Structure 1
Amino acid sequence: MTRLFEPVVRVATTAFHHGEVSAGSRQVPEETAIALSYNRVGYAVMMATPRDLRDFATGFSLSEGIVDRAADLLDCELVTVDQGIECRMRVGTDVADRLARRRRHMAGALGCGLCGLESLAEATRAIPRVGSGLTISAEAVMRGMRAMAMQQELNRQTRAIHAAGFLDPADGSVLVREDVGRHNALDKVIGALAGAGRSAGSGVVLMTSRVSIELIQKCAVAGAPVIVAVSVPSAHAIRAADEAGITLVAVAREDGFEVFTHQTRICFGASRHVA
Structure 2
Amino acid sequence: MSQHPFARHAATRHPGASPILRSLPEETPIAMVYHGSTHAVMMASPQDIEDFATGFTLTEGVIEDASQIEDLRIVAHEAGIEAQMWLAGDRGERLAARRRSMAGPVGCGLCGIESLSAAIRDLPQVGGVGIPEPEIAAATDALRAMQPLHDETRAVHAAGFLLPGQGIVLAREDVGRHNALDKLIGAMARQGMDASKGAIVLTSRVSVEMVQKTAMAGAGVLVAVSAPTAHALRLAEGAGLTLAALARGGGFELFCHPGRIVTA
Q: TM-score, normalised by structure 1?
A: 0.92
Residue in structure 2 matched with residue 210 of structure 1 by the alignment: 205
What's 2:248 paired with? 253
Equivalent of residue 109 in structure 1, options 86, 100, 105: 105
Residue identity in the other structure for 1:206? V
Moved more, 96-105 or 246-255: 96-105
Structure 2 vs 1, CA of residues 103 and 211 (structure 1 numbering), >3 Å: closer, same or farther? closer
| 1:108-133 Cα shifts (integer Å, max 9, x gaps) | 321111110000000011121101x4
Report the Cα distance in structure 1 between the residues aligned to 2:23 and 2:133, rounded to whole angstroms.
35
Matched with 1:188 is: 183
Amino acid corresponding to residue 54 of structure 1 in structure 2? E
Q: 1:30 is matched with which residue?
A: 26
State the Cα deviation string for residues 73-119 of structure 1 (Å, max 9, x = none).
11111111010111111113411233245543333321111110000
Task: Tell me which residue corresponds to 2:147.
Answer: 152
Alignment gaps of 5+ in structure 1: 270-275
Alignment-derived partner of residue 11 in structure 1 = 9
Greater alpha carbon shift after TM alignment, 135-144 vs 68-77: 135-144
Q: Where do residues 216-227 of structure 1 align in structure 2 (5 Å cutoff)?
A: 216-227=211-222
The DSSP-based 3-state class of the residue aligned with 2:167 is coil
Residues 148 and 174 of structure 1 are in contact (CA less than 8 Å); yes or no, is this contact kept in structure 2? no
Is the deviation greater in 137-146 or in 260-269?
Answer: 137-146
Measure, in 2, the Cα distance between the counterparts of 1:263 and 1:92.
38
Residue 116 of structure 2 is aligned with which of 100, 117, 120? 120
Distance 1:253 1:143, change over 3 A: closer
Q: Is this contact kept in 2: 1:144–1:174, CA < 8 A?
A: no
CA distance in 2, matches of 1:254, 1:174: 21
Task: Give distance in 1, aligned partners of 2:145 and 2:97.
Answer: 44
The residue aligned with 2:77 is: 81
Matching residue of 2:68:
72
Inter-partner Cα distance in structure 2 for 1:99 and 1:164:
26
RMSD: 1.3
Q: Distance in 1 between matches of 2:71 and 2:200?
A: 27
Q: Secondary structure at the match of 1:140?
A: helix
What is residue 273 of structure 1 aligned with on the other side?
none
Give a deviation string over 1:31-81, Cα, whole Å, max 9, x none: 000011011111000000011110000000000011111001111111110
Give the paired residue count: 264
CA contact (8 A) 2:161 2:198 kept: yes
Choose the corresponding residue for 2:170, options 151, 172, 175. 175
Question: Contact between 2:139 and 2:223, CA under 8 Å: does it hold in 1?
Answer: no
How far off is 1:243 after superposition? 0.7
Q: What amino acid sits opposite 2:173 in the alignment?
A: E
Whether contact under 8 Å (2:43, 2:105) holds in the other structure is yes
Distance 1:217 1:198 in 2: 19
In structure 2, the partner of 1:140 is: 135
Task: Quote the sequence identity (%).
Answer: 51
- Residues 93 and 266 of structure 1, relative CA distance in 2, 3 Å threshold: closer
Q: 1:103 to 1:177 in 2, by over 3 A?
A: closer
Deviations 1:156-184 (A, max 9, x none): 11111100000011533421100000000
Instruction: Specify whether residues 53 and 129 from structure 1 end up closer, same or farther in structure 2 by C-alpha distance, changes over 3 A only.
Output: same
Query: TM (normalized to structure 2)?
Result: 0.96
Return 5+ residue gaps in structure 2 as ranges: none
Structure 1 consecutive aligned stretches of length 4 or more whose deviation exceeds 3 Å: 100-104
Who is 2:57 aligned against? 61
State the SS of the aligned residue for 2:214.
Answer: helix
In structure 2, C-alpha distance between the alignment counterparts of 1:171 and 1:22, rounded to whole Å: 44
